[in-house]
Amino acid sequence: MQHTLGAICFAERTDQTCPAADNPFLHVAMPILDGEPVCELWLGDGINATVKQGGVRYRRSENLLFGVIELNEADTDPIPLQQATESAYRQIFALLDELELPFVYRFWNYMADINVVSHGLERYRQFNLGRQDAFLACARDVVGELPSACALGTAEGPLQIAFLAGSTASLAIENPRQVNAYAYPEDYGPRSPTFSRASLLRLPESEVLFISGTASIVGHRTLHSDDVSGQTRETLANIEAVILEANRVMHHRWFDPSQLFYRVYVRHAADIEIIRNELRRLTGNHANAVFLQADICRDDLLLEIETTAFSCDRKNTDRQ
């Protein structure tokens, strides 16, 4: 029987979501643009009790661990978000080293005012500084086999990070339409973003594909500024390219594009119908999606989409 490892819950108020009190979970204060507040649950077999170590709360099964950390930014730090980010990631990596679970598959990062310039630097770039400094300090690779990730902006609140890790190495999947994020030029800040476009995790019963937050970027440049329809189409083209790359390395199973779960982050709530209509048109009207209002990591991006997919048997699926 499977039990809950942890959860990420989206709702404007904390009283709108109620996962079991002892589960490690994030409550992310983002408006839901259609429907009710939602919790994404991660499940596993043989779950141990929730443990708190430093700022990290986590649960683990034999081979998987889900953890969360929330840190307030200290006013006394020279660049508060950078320092909070480095501290959070150092704590995560120290815990995983101690537990001998060296592989992180997915990070979810949420922070207030992601596009605001403070202390002379945009806050997303501050976050990238702190994240990469922690990777380097903890002897983690900053190129190549990196975890998938997203980084979104909220209206207020602490730095919030959730992560999924384990004992089995995953495979980083990149997008041939895009420059690898860790190779971005210095135009995008003093440190490149430290993530891969997707992580492919092979489990005994299936494979899981974690596709990072994906937007209307080709090469390293934003396309279709001020055109939400164009950005939606380009974003979905990037997701399709990542799925194709993942399917190239699969053998008996594959990822069916019609079976994805989409989390759609929308900058302007008024754009939801345009985005939803494009998503339905391009996915055959069967998209399983939740829409949230959030700030995106670049101020010229109007949306970002992340997806998760589970593999299925090729022989049981019509690919035509």
- Which residues does the annotation mark as catalytic? 304
What six digits make up the tokens of 137?
């300090």
- Count, in order, helices (H) and strands (E) of the chain: 4, 21
Q: Nearest CA to 98 among 132, 128, 54?
A: 54
Non-local CB neighbours of 25 within 8 Å, separated by 6+ positions: 6, 7, 8, 9, 19, 39, 68
Q: Are 165 and 65 in contact (CB under 8 A)?
A: yes
Task: Decide the pairing of beta strands 198-202 and 207-214.
Answer: antiparallel
What six digits make up the tokens of 53?
């170590």
Backbone angle region of 224, left / alpha / beta, with phi > 0 → left and psi within -120 to 50 → alpha? left
Q: Are 215 and 303 in contact (CB under 8 A)?
A: yes
Q: Are 64 and 208 in contact (CB under 8 A)?
A: no
Task: Decide the pairing of beta strands 2-10 and 25-28.
Answer: parallel
Q: Nearest CA to 148 among 211, 85, 68, 239?
A: 211
Residue 146 and residue 8: Cα distance in Å, rounded? 22
Residue 190 and residue 257: Cα distance in Å, rounded? 36
Say how far residue 249 (Cα) sits from the centre of its chain: 22
Residue 209 and residue 211: Cα distance in Å, rounded? 6
Q: Are 75 and 39 in contact (CB under 8 A)?
A: no
